[in-house]
């Protein structure tokens, strides 16, 4: 395993931020992960900063330590039963390519999660979700390298403690584990989920006569491409903020003042559309220098060229302040800040 010095991280984050890592390495196996922790470039008790697809991070500073990119690859069907097929996927695999693999093999369950950027290893960390489906719905188990114990541990769905864009790896165990593989339990017979958002409308536009997971995937891709900027063209990390959940009583009060407010029932209240809140505060399409709020989707902050991470972070702070002032709701960033 080669360790490089003074490497630009611009190619390794979808925001396209030009931060520098003092040391940079790639790992493809658990053995190489163990080698990282024996590196002479690490200070005592220091851990490497692990990146995958770089689709959920905002780099605001150069990194003075070791950045390590997960490049573990491989997809393997490990078992079947009457209803399900179990597929183990190495953490460094591209998420969307894995979805396409499932569609090609008629493994159902992840088609609604098409075109989400990032790697497979990142998917359970924040319980990624879209169009009525979350990782927890198809998750079986994962393996992760325990930094403290220097060994690989297995986590079940219950042990991951999944929540809305949350898992135990973002809270109690933040920074302690490096996910090495994820095993998914996928359906042999699809249970189509087309009730969320505009999927049915898109299927109608596509003149789909016989529903399939491939058709749903194509519809989701079409919708995402129409609403969200391609990181290869405009730097971004997808949704920058979580949709906040507020008490029912607060939503009722806001509904009286703002009749058009968008909200959906949640387990412990009402989940409000953060994009709508941001748009009502006048941020949609806003741009200052190369940092901005996307013209089609206010939930997406963008780098139009050479924005610094600190500029995008400052913009997000201003957005959060304005939403709190207008609606009394504190937004929470979904993107990890470094």
> Are residues 97 and 29 both part of a single domain?
no
> Are residues 37 and 87 both part of a single domain?
no
Q: What whole-number distance in Å separates Cα of residue 305 and Cα of residue 235?
A: 7
Q: From 70, 103, 118, give the residue that closes a domain.
A: 70
Residues in the chain predicted with pLDDT less than 50, given as ranges, are: none
Q: Dihedrals φ, ψ of 94, to 5°? A: -70, 130
294's tokens: 């996307």
Residue 230 falls inside a structural domain: no
Residue 217 falls inside a structural domain: no
Q: What whole-number distance in Å separates Cα of residue 27 and Cα of residue 25?
A: 7
Residue 211 falls inside a structural domain: no
| CATH number, domain with residue 176 | 3.30.465.10
Q: What whole-number distance in Å separates Cα of residue 49 and Cα of residue 35?
A: 14
Residue 228 falls inside a structural domain: no
> Are residues 317 and 273 both part of a single domain?
yes
Residue 209 falls inside a structural domain: no
Q: In this structure, what DSSP letter does residue 241 have?
A: B
> Are residues 63 and 97 both part of a single domain?
no
Instruction: Determine the pLDDT at residue 291.
Output: 97
> Are residues 180 and 247 both part of a single domain?
no
Residues known to be catalytic = 165, 239, 334
**Chain centroid, CA 196 distance in Å:** 19
Residue 199 falls inside a structural domain: no
| CATH number, domain with residue 314 | 3.90.78.10
Q: From 28, 54, 70, give the residue that closes a domain.
A: 70
The pTM assigned to this predicted structure is 0.86
Q: Which domain holds residue 66?
A: 3-70
> Are residues 63 and 135 both part of a single domain?
no
Q: From 70, 91, 122, give the residue that closes a domain.
A: 70
Instruction: Determine the pLDDT at residue 46.
Output: 76
Residue 213 falls inside a structural domain: no
Going through the chain in order, the beta strands assigned E by DSSP cover 3-8, 20-27, 49-51, 57-58, 63-70, 75-80, 84-90, 129-130, 133-134, 139-146, 151-156, 177-187, 235-239, 245-246, 263-266, 269-272, 287-288, 291-293, 300-303, 336-337
Instruction: Determine the pLDDT at residue 71.
Output: 95
Q: What's the structural domain count of the chain?
A: 3
- State pLDDT tens for residues 248-305: 999 999 999 999 998 888 878 999 999 999 999 999 999 999 999 999 999 999 999 9
> Are residues 181 and 264 both part of a single domain?
no
- State pLDDT tens for residues 18-49: 999 999 999 999 999 999 888 888 877 778 88
> Are residues 181 and 80 both part of a single domain?
yes
How far from each other are the two terminal CA atoms of the chain, in whole angstroms? 25
> Are residues 66 and 102 both part of a single domain?
no
> Are residues 239 and 327 both part of a single domain?
yes
Instruction: Determine the pLDDT at residue 265.
Output: 87
> Are residues 66 and 86 both part of a single domain?
no
Q: What whole-number distance in Å separates Cα of residue 64 and Cα of residue 28?
A: 23
Instruction: Determine the pLDDT at residue 309.
Output: 96
Instruction: Determine the pLDDT at residue 89.
Output: 98
Residue 295 falls inside a structural domain: yes
Q: In this structure, what DSSP letter does residue 242 have?
A: P
- The b-or-e profile of 302-328 (16+ CB within 10 A means b, else e) is bbbeebbbebbbebbeebbebbeeebe
């Amino acid at each position: 395993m080669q360790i490089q010095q003074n490497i630009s991280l611009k190619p390794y984050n979808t925001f396209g931020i030009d931060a520098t890592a003092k040391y940079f390495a790639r790992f493809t196996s658990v053995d190489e992960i163990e080698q990282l922790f024996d590196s002479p470039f690490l200070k005592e008790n220091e851990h490497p900063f692990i990146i995958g697809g770089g689709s959920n991070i905002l780099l605001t500073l150069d990194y003075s330590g070791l950045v390590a990119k997960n490049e573990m690859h491989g997809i393997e069907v490990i078992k079947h039963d009457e209803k399900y097929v179990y597929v183990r996927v190495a953490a460094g695999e591209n998420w969307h390519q894995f979805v396409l693999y499932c569609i090609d093999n008629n493994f159902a369950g992840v088609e609604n999660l098409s075109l989400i950027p990032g790697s497979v290893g990142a998917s359970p960390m924040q319980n990624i979700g879209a169009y009525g489906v979350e990782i927890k719905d198809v998750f079986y188990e994962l393996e992760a390298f325990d930094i403290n114990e220097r060994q690989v541990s297995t986590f079940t769905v219950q042990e991951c403690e999944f929540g809305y864009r949350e898992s135990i790896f973002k809270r109690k165990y933040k920074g302690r584990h490096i996910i090495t593989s994820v095993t998914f339990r996928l359906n042999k017979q699809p249970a189509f989920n087309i009730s969320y958002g505009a999927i049915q409308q898109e299927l109608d536009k596509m003149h789909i006569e016989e529903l399939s997971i491939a058709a749903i995937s194509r519809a989701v891709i079409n919708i995402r491409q129409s609403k969200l900027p391609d990181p290869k063209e405009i730097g971004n990390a997808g949704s920058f903020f979580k949709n906040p959940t507020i008490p029912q009583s607060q939503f009722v009060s806001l509904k009286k003042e703002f009749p058009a407010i968008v909200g959906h029932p949640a387990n412990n209240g009402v989940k409000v559309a953060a994009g709508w809140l941001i748009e009502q505060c006048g941020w949609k399409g806003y741009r200052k220098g190369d940092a901005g709020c996307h013209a089609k989707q206010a939930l997406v902050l963008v780098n139009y060229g050479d924005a610094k991470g600190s500029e995008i972070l400052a913009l997000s702070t201003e957005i959060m302040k304005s939403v709190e002032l207008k609606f009394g709701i504190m937004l929470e960033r979904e993107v990890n800040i470094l």
